[in-house]
């Protein structure tokens, strides 16, 4: 049976024993053909009368139509939030906490529906939406609900008070989770909210609107409006918003910061990243390879803190790359609804074209291109896991955020060299360090210009842990006590 | 196999991060194995079993009955494979060999003062030779865990090499008793020592100590086999033993082999389950796939 002969050493992961397709059932979900704007506790028609389509990136089929909010709709939402703020900021903190706990519990009850819709609309594998996105979103509500009546203990002698109306704009990579990151601390701190999800992935936010309506949260405390850049701009420029919280691209973040300059609006920005994932020769290499895979191929690489720049110490570079290539052969790219799928669909055609453009740039720059040999579906937006070996700091693929399953690989020789190279970038959101030596971890983590440093793991999130960046990765923290502060004045 | 093998420094074998290993293992258990994929996996599992009886109260009668089961797993369902081997004490090898005459089922014998390994080299070698003279096809030896934990790696290496020499053409499985080695780093070190000393198979446990085989321990050993294969070109087999009693668990192990070593290791030449009760659970699942309903354990022979 052994097909392998001694003269050709290599592993063959193609076997005649195949896994069974296991597509998640979609019949149990409840989706409408058309969604309106959630303002003041009700779904209302948009003033613009315009609707746009949201599609399934794995099949390119339309799922539903979403309302496009214009300036008047934004104004209506802000007015509703302002009206609700008077009541919401005055009810007892304990009651506020109860409402948030109720949202968390309802989210757990409807977890299956949320994860299916998240995968349908955004293309992420059901394994991730089921095991990470939805449970973590519920946990953020649970965590922040606990703080609602303990703010005076969280910030002793500082009399924390809510800001007012928060305008929140979130990206398409973790639609429900980002909504939770934004809404939960805002509510716990006593603010009211106008939230705009990304135009390609609004469905779970709209399902969250239904859930919030069902939870009995007072009308207008949370308003969810859909639309693209114009809607977001109207929110940013609205005079009666006290705080803008934005997660998304660095370009848009800069535009927002310019737009609100001279106003007294508060701002937090969580922007792009290009994280260094650093493997030392004394690291547990097989587990480090797993960390590389989780770092860059998690959510198709659509992760602002993705470990997209791999630094491997030269003495183990060949072994690590061999192990990584073998591991990549076992990754399954395909139908996001299949429980076996490791890497789902690229979120949109636009994003796929951007990734393909960067792959072209990388090839032209002379880095060594490598992709796994897995099959990809003929329809929908897919990209094989990709490596660029022998990359250098001067390459654009090393400097710029690709936001896809594309990893650049560089080697290093000394600690000083890797610290310099890891920090030699416009971004500073996250970093990963792999070594068996604790002292090396402490040394490096204090020298990384990055908001989050993971040691011997990657892409781990917890509601109690603050998250945010340095430099062009933004400012302000989300999660933990630090995540409450931007929603409070003292 | 003319490649010149350079011995590594066993004090500096690869380090293992337990948390990372456990996370990787969790991913194997989420692969979907159903219907034809499940049936194929279950038959493969049956063919990989070393049906085992290793008790003080073993008799010729007991061994003969088990050998009959090894060849006739469940004759009501046609097309089932036999198990790979039976695994017995050296004194039972002759009985097993006679009982299995004419079948392709191998006879494996534990040796080297199994299960503790607390004896002299001479006794261990003569124990092995006795099993071989009685017709054993495979030898399952235990390492000296005491010497290993003392850091006496050369002793462990030399002992394995001596038993391998005594084995001649019989395949040698080396049991680490991972439940006594305490860390995954030690499991990796023992794996490297055994393979470089000539092991044809590396095996987790005797079944006498808890914990016996676990998925994290097996993954570390499979990764050691992979690295050894890349360094030397020689394939080494893997045998988790003890504690794997359900079909579901067995299929998870096969997924782990498939994604760590690839298809070449998915046969009983390179992968075995050391188990006594696993076979009936697999048969029960196969019967369920065939008939659509579960039958009670009373319908499956217990030999």
pLDDT of chain A, 490 residues: tens digit per residue:
344 444 578 999 999 999 999 999 999 999 999 999 999 999 999 999 999 999 999 999 999 999 999 999 999 999 999 999 999 999 999 999 999 999 999 999 999 999 999 999 999 999 999 999 999 999 999 999 999 999 999 999 999 999 999 999 999 999 999 999 999 999 999 999 999 999 999 999 999 999 999 999 999 999 999 999 999 999 999 999 999 999 999 999 999 999 999 999 999 999 999 999 999 999 999 999 999 999 999 999 999 999 999 999 999 999 999 999 999 999 999 999 999 999 999 999 999 999 999 999 999 999 999 999 999 999 999 999 999 999 999 999 999 999 999 999 999 999 999 999 999 999 999 999 999 999 999 999 999 999 999 999 999 999 999 999 999 999 999 999 999 999 999 9
The closest CB to that of B37, out of A1, A18, A286, belongs to A18
CATH number where A381 lies = 3.40.309.10
> A399 by DSSP, 3-state: which?
helix
Pairing of strands A161-162, A386-389: unpaired
| Short-list A107, A95, A72, A238, CA closest to A168 | A238
Domain range holding A94? 34-271+473-489
What is the number of domains present in chain A? 2
CATH number where B271 lies = 3.20.20.70
How far from the centroid of its chain's Cα atoms is residue A358's Cα? 21
The closest CB to that of B269, out of A1, A11, A127, belongs to A1
Helix (H) / strand (E) containing A64: strand A61-67
The closest CB to that of B17, out of A22, A284, A326, belongs to A284
Whether residue B26 lies inside any domain: the answer is no
A2 touches B: beta carbon within 8 Å: yes
A433 with A454, same domain?
A: yes
Residues in chain A within 8 Å Cβ distance of B41: 17
Asked whether the beta carbons of residue B20 and residue A13 sit closer than 8 angstroms, the reply is no
Strand partners, A452: A430
B31 touches A: beta carbon within 8 Å: yes
How far from the centroid of its chain's Cα atoms is residue B103's Cα? 20
| Short-list A464, A390, A463, CA closest to A180 | A463
CA-based nearest residue in chain A for residue B222: A286
The closest CB to that of B235, out of A2, A290, A457, belongs to A2
Is the peptide bond prior to A279 cis by the omega test (within 30 degrees of 0)?
A: no
CA-based nearest residue in chain A for residue B265: A2
Whether residue B5 lies inside any domain: the answer is no
Whether residue A27 lies inside any domain: the answer is no
Asked whether the beta carbons of residue A11 and residue B261 sit closer than 8 angstroms, the reply is yes
CA-based nearest residue in chain A for residue B260: A327
Asked whether the beta carbons of residue A15 and residue B263 sit closer than 8 angstroms, the reply is yes
A335 with A224, same domain?
A: no
- pTM here is 0.96
Cα gap A105→A103, rounded to integer Å: 6
Cα gap B98→B64, rounded to integer Å: 9
Domain range holding B282? 48-290
A259 with A329, same domain?
A: no
> A441 by DSSP, 3-state: which?
helix
Whether residue A130 lies inside any domain: the answer is yes
What is the number of domains present in chain B? 1
Residues in chain A within 8 Å Cβ distance of B14: 284-286
Q: Which of A10, A16, A17 to mutate to test the interface with B (most CBs of B within 10 A)?
A: A17
Asked whether the beta carbons of residue A17 and residue B229 sit closer than 8 angstroms, the reply is no
């Amino acid at each position: 049976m052994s097909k392998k002969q001694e003269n050709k050493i290599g592993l063959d992961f193609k076997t005649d024993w195949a896994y069974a397709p296991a597509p998640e059932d979609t019949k149990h979900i409840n989706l409408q053909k058309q969604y309106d704007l959630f303002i003041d506790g009700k779904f209302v028609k948009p003033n613009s009368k315009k609707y746009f389509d949201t599609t399934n990136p794995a099949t390119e089929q339309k799922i539903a139509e979403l309302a496009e909010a214009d300036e008047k709709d934004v104004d209506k939402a802000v007015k509703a939030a302002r009206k609700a703020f008077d009541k919401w900021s005055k009810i007892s903190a304990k009651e506020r906490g109860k409402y948030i706990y109720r949202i968390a519990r309802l989210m757990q009850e409807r977890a299956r529906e949320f994860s299916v819709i998240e995968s349908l609309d955004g293309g992420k594998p059901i394994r991730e939406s089921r095991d990470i996105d939805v449970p973590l979103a519920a946990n953020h509500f649970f965590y922040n609900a606990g703080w609602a009546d303990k703010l005076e203990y969280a910030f002793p002698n500082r009399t924390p008070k809510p800001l007012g109306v928060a305008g929140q704009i979130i990206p398409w990579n973790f639609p429900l989770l980002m909504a939770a990151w934004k809404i939960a601390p805002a509510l716990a701190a006593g603010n009211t909210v106008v939230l705009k999800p990304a135009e390609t992935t609004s469905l779970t936010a709209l399902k969250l609107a239904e859930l919030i309506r069902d939870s009995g949260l007072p009308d207008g405390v949370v308003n969810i409006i859909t639309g693209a850049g114009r809607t977001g701009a109207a929110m940013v420029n609205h005079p009666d918003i006290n705080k803008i919280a934005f997660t998304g691209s660095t370009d848009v973040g800069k535009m927002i910061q310019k737009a609100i300059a001279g106003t007294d609006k508060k701002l937090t920005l969580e922007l792009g990243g290009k994280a260094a994932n650093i493997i030392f020769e004394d690291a547990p290499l097989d587990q480090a390879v797993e960390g590389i895979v989780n770092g860059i191929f998690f959510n198709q690489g659509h992760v602002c803190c993705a470990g997209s720049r791999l630094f491997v110490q030269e003495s183990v570079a060949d072994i690590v790359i061999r192990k990584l290539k073998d591991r990549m052969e076992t990754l399954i790219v395909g139908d996001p609804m299949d429980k076996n799928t490791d890497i789902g669909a690229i979120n949109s055609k636009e994003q796929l074209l951007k990734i393909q453009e960067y792959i072209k740039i990388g090839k032209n720059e002379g880095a060594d291109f490598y992709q796994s040999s897995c099959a990809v579906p003929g329809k929908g937006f897919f990209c094989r896991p990709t490596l660029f070996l022998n990359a250098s700091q001067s390459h654009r693929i090393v400097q710029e955020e690709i936001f896809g399953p594309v990893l650049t690989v560089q080697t290093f020789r000394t600690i000083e060299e890797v610290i310099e190279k890891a920090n030699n970038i416009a971004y500073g959101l996250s970093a990963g360090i792999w070594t068996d030596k604790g002292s090396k971890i402490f040394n490096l983590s204090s020298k990384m210009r990055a908001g989050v440093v993971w040691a011997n793991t990657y892409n781990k999130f917890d509601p109690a842990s603050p998250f945010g960046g340095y430099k062009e990765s933004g400012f302000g923290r989300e999660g933990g006590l630090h995540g409450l502060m931007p929603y409070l004045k003292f | 196999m003319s490649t010149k093998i350079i011995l590594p420094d066993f004090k500096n074998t690869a380090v293992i991060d337990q948390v990372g290993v456990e996370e990787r293992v969790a991913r194997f258990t989420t692969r979907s194995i159903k219907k034809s994929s499940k049936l194929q996996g279950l038959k493969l599992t049956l063919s990989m079993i070393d049906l085992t009886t290793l008790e003080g109260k073993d008799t010729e009668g007991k061994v003969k009955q088990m050998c009959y089961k090894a060849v006739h797993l469940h004759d009501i369902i046609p097309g089932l494979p036999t198990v790979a081997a039976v695994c017995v004490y050296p004194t039972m090898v002759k009985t097993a060999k006679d009982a299995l005459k004419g079948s392709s089922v191998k006879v494996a014998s534990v040796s080297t003062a199994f299960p503790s390994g607390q004896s002299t080299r001479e006794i261990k070698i003569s124990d092995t030779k006795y099993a071989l003279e009685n017709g054993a096809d495979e030898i399952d030896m235990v390492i000296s865990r005491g010497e290993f934990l003392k850091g006496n790696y050369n002793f462990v290496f030399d002992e394995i090499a001596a038993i391998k020499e005594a084995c001649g053409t019989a395949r040698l499985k080396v049991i680490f008793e991972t439940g006594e080695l305490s860390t995954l780093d030690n499991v990796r070190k023992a794996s490297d020592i055994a393979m470089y000393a000539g092991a044809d198979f590396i095996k987790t446990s005797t079944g006498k100590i808890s914990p016996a085989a676990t998925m994290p321990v097996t993954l570390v050993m499979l990764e050691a086999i992979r690295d050894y294969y890349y360094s030397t070109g020689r394939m080494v087999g893997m045998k988790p033993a003890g504690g794997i009693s359900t079909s579901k668990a067995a299929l998870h192990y096969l997924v782990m082999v498939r994604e760590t070593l690839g298809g070449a290791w998915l046969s009983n030449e390179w992968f075995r389950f050391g188990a006594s009760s696993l076979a009936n659970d697999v048969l029960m699942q196969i019967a369920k796939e065939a008939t659509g309903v579960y039958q009670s354990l009373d319908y499956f022979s217990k030999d």
